[in-house]
Amino acid sequence: EAGVAQSPRYKIIEKRQSVAFWCNPISGHATLYWYQQILGQGPKLLIQFQNNGVVDDSQLPKDRFSAERLKGVDSTLKIQPAKLEDSAVYLCASSSDPNTEAFFGQGTRLTVV
C-alpha cells in the first residue's frame, strides 16, 4: 500500500517569498492533516480536513498560511509571504477517519533565509 506522498522534500526560499507544498494521502483516507514541526519540538496541527471540508484550522496563521483540498484527495499548503520563523518541517498525515491511526508522510523541510 502506498504511503502518504509529499513534495518537495526540501525547499529553501528567501523571506517574503511564497512557497507551496503538496500532499497526496493514502487512497481512501477521508481525513487529512497538515502539521508544522519546528526543530526540537513535537508537531503542531495547522489544519485538519474531513474530505474537502475544514474541521480545525484554529492554529493556522491565516494572514500568511492557506490550505485547500478541493476534490477531497490531494491537498496543498501555501505560505505567502514567508517569515524566518516559518523554517520547519511540514508534515502531512492522513487517516480513514478522525478516530483511526494517522499515517505520516516524510515531510517537506522548509528553510527561510
Partner 1 sequence: KNQVEQSPQSLIILEGKNCTLQCNYTVSPFSNLRWYKQDTGRGPVSLTIMTFSENTKSNGRYTATLDADTKQSSLHITASQLSDSASYICVVIGAGTYKYIFGTGTRLKVLA
| Contact residues: partner 1, CB under 8 A | 4, 33, 40-45, 56, 91, 93, 98-99, 101-107, 109
Shortest reach from residue 22's CB to partner 1, in Å: 15
Beta strand 31-37 with 88-95 is antiparallel
Shortest reach from residue 65's CB to partner 1, in Å: 19
CA nearest neighbour of 98 among 22, 31, 27, 21: 31
Exposed/middle/buried for 73, CB within 10 Å: 0-12, 13-18, 19+? middle
Shortest reach from residue 29's CB to partner 1, in Å: 14
| Closest to partner 1 by CB, 56 or 81 | 56
| Closest to partner 1 by CB, 39 or 70 | 39
Cell of 94: 492522513
